[in-house]
Amino acid sequence: MTRKDAVQRRRQRILIVDDTLANIEILHKILQADHDIFFAKSGADGVRIVKQEMPDLILLDIMMPDMDGYQVCALLKGDPQTAHIPVIFITAMGSDEDETRGLDCGAIDYITKPISPPIVKARVRNHLELKRSRDLLAELTVELGEKNRELEILAREDGLTGLANRRHFNEVLDAELKRALRTRQYLSLVLCDVDFFKKYNDQYGHVAGDKCLQAIGDVMRATFRRAGDLPARYGGEEFAAILPDTAPDQAVQLAERLRQELMARDLPHLVDGVQGQVTLSVGVVGVQATRERNAEWVIREADQALYRSKETGRNRVSAVAYD
């Protein structure tokens, strides 16, 4: 059962506050078949029970010793926790002035004694239906918010590794380049590619291949974890990290740490022509942002550095810096 269904099916609860037991008994008799009933014999008790039970509707007598109905109503309406609970006054005082005063202090309705069972039933039913609609709307709003957050995460996250996906990477790179232009700070970009990954998949299968990528994702996350760093899955076996406010030499250090951390994991890759374990080739570009150095340009520079790492023997970091 969804929470929405729960709201729709829940038996609604009414609190009756009246200092005369006979009045409570009459109302109880009229309403008990369809609702759960609580009661209080004084205003102070009524306020306490409202906070404890959070009823869906309050039937409130006006003439009570100590705290009268107007005071109870004003107290409940002044408390954000209880302000939303509808209050109906039930009273023998039937003048226009009395009614106005009741409505002014926040009651939604006013029923005069002597009590007519069909009228009480009908009014209570109407107000409870409204209350249920509001509860339902509140529940739907919460659900919608949760769904939106899930979608937002899905739209930004790579399903396999939990890193940022390509789309989120692109958004952040654009934003960070603009920021770097404004703050005149360096921005560095790390691009890496798993060495001989096709051979790995051929040798160990795609399930193992996915596990290997997840392990690399973990190392990425552990390495690029400063505030503002964005490790991402760039493509199939390609990873990237955006490093805002990071000079080229610092970016190279981090990239080198990444490469060594992965080697320390010692993920076996026992295929002819491979070094025996899973390794990364890495390209780093560190730039002082200019208008011409846009995302496309920065990625191309990192890609060329990565290509040099591949060409000169793999499992290494190549870097280029632009002041």
**Residue 237 found at the interface with Mg ion (CB under 5 A):** no
Q: What's the min distance (Å) between Cβ of 37 and Mg ion?
A: 18
Q: Amino acid letter at 281?
A: S
Select from 85, 53, 89, 54 the least CA-distant residue to 71: 89
Question: Nearer to Mg ion by C-beta: 54 or 63?
Answer: 63
Q: Binders of Mg ion: how many residues, by CB under 5 A?
A: 3
**Residue 19 found at the interface with Mg ion (CB under 5 A):** yes
Question: Nearer to Mg ion by C-beta: 61 or 193?
Answer: 61
| 237 in catalytic set | yes
How far CA 190 is from CA of 31, 88, 221, 238, 254, in Å, comes to 70, 66, 13, 11, 9
Q: Which of 97, 176, 237, 301 is catalytic?
A: 237
Select from 248, 233, 2, 236 the least CA-distant residue to 139: 2
- CA–CA separation, 277 vs 262, rounded Å? 9
Q: What's the min distance (Å) between Cβ of 62 and Mg ion?
A: 7
Q: Which residue's beta carbon is nearest to the bound Mg ion?
A: 63
317 bridge partner residues: 282
Chain position carrying tokens 């570009």: 285
**Residue 63 found at the interface with Mg ion (CB under 5 A):** yes
Question: Nearer to Mg ion by C-beta: 61 or 237?
Answer: 61
Residue 251: alpha-carbon gap to chain centroid: 32
**Residue 61 found at the interface with Mg ion (CB under 5 A):** yes
Tokens of 16: 């009756």
Select from 180, 258, 191, 189 the least CA-distant residue to 229: 189
Q: Which stretch binds Mg ion (CB under 5 A): 53-61, 198-206, 230-238, 314-322?
A: 53-61
Q: What's the min distance (Å) between Cβ of 23 and Mg ion?
A: 7
**Residue 195 found at the interface with Mg ion (CB under 5 A):** no
Q: Which residues are catalytic?
A: 237
Residues lying near Mg ion in the complex (CB under 5 A): 19, 61, 63
